[in-house]
Amino acid sequence: MNEPGHEQQSAPGKPGEVETTGHVWDGDLREYNNPLPRWWLWSFYATVVFSLIYWLLYPAWPIAGTYTKGIAWINYEVEGESQRSHWNSRALLVRDMQTGDAAVRQREFLQVIAEADHDTVLSDTDMLAFVNSYARGIFGDFCAACHQTGGAGIIGLYPNLADDNWHWGGTIQAIEQTITRGRMGYMPPYRETFDDQQADAVAAYVLSLAGHEGGDPEQVSLGGSIFQGYEGGCYACHGREGLGLKSLGAPNLTNDIWQNIDVTGAPGHAERQALVRDLILRGVQREMPAFGDRLSPAEIRVLATYVHQLGGGL
Ligand code: HEC
Ligand code: HEC
């Protein structure tokens, strides 16, 4: 390539003409002079300065298995003890969750609700909105594994909490107690007590209590005397009228709501009767674990209010 010649630096004259640097190659190759716009250049310098400050303050460069930590510090609390570490987003998150404005406000509101009486909470839309959003999170973490999202439960395993049927009681107090202390539902098996005929008869009677027509009247009447008599002793837990006994977690048998067997899903009377008979023969034992040592009283209160609401609030 030839050495560049020189000519006068030229400023644009006519429109469309561009300023040149004055360098000329091969007689007529000129070099345009298009300097970077000022604003662009200054923005570029600003980003350089920014990144230098950033590298200095915050974690930035990987070096041999670790990284430059920066000189910025962050203070936060873990279980009441203050901690200090170089700035990092995990510590920042911990700090926000513990002492951030939103977290503090949330804790204060939780406390207000925990100390308010039940009716106040149920009639205050702000409190209820808080209860529902806050409790949904705890429910997801601690309860949904068994009771399923929304408390729908699984027949035969975990009770549905979203209906108005409660074995242990659906008041907020009763639900609080269920969550705090846990519950153990127990009905003895009658395998050794009943022969097939008796078991069939009691099942027919139980179905008649729940309003299912179609049972053999003789069976129903025999079943009734076993239910109400010494042999079955069912009344001791389920009550003379079959309305249940909340202190034992013994369900109401008259409402046609079933937790352990899918009676309403069965195709016909014979199938329904078989389901009930088998349940009576095998008995039931189920346990709801206690959460008194895993959740704070305020959390349990909020959760109980939420679960009470799920069941239609009755
Ligand atoms: C390991 C599974 C499991 C977990 C987790 C669990 N439960 Fe239960 N829960 C049960 C079982 C089983 C029962 C039925 C107990 C019985 O009556 O036999 C039950 C019963 C209940 C009842 C009583 C229902 C009624 O009809 O009276 C309530 C209320 C309840 N659970 C709420 C909760 C809440 C709230 C949580 C979360 C803090 C939770 N449960 C976590 C298994 C579980
Ligand atoms: C010691 C108390 C007790 C006695 C006695 C008892 N039950 Fe129960 N029964 C219960 C309890 C508690 C449950 C609920 C268990 C659970 O869901 O965890 C239950 C559940 C049932 C269910 C299932 C209800 C459902 O929703 O799935 C039927 C049906 C039933 N009992 C019928 C009877 C009959 C019939 C007798 C007499 C032959 C009888 N029980 C005797 C305590 C008793």
From residue 260, give the alpha-carbon distance in Å to each of 12, 13, 50, 64, 119: 92, 94, 66, 60, 32
pLDDT averaged over every residue in the chain? 91
> Best substitution site from 237, 248, 286 to test ligand 2's pocket, by max atoms within 8 Å of Cβ?
237
d(C-alpha 244, C-alpha 117), whole Å: 28
pLDDT tens digits along 229-259: 999 999 999 999 999 999 999 999 999 999 9
292: tokens are 């008194």
Task: Evaluate the CA torsion angle 149, 150, 155, 161 in order and state its sign.
Answer: positive
Cα 32-33-37 angle, rounded to 5 deg = 130
pTM of the model as a whole: 0.78
What pLDDT is stored for residue 8 in this prediction? Answer: 72
Which residues sit with their C-beta closer than 6 Å to ligand 2?
A: 167, 185-188, 190, 202, 206, 227, 232-234, 236-238, 248-251, 253, 258-261, 276, 279-280, 284, 286
Q: Which amino acid is at 249?
A: G
Q: Give, in words, the CATH class of 137-310.
A: mainly alpha
- Which of 56-65, 87-96, 223-232 has the highest mean predicted lDDT (pLDDT)? 223-232
| H or E segment to which residue 24 belongs | strand 20-25
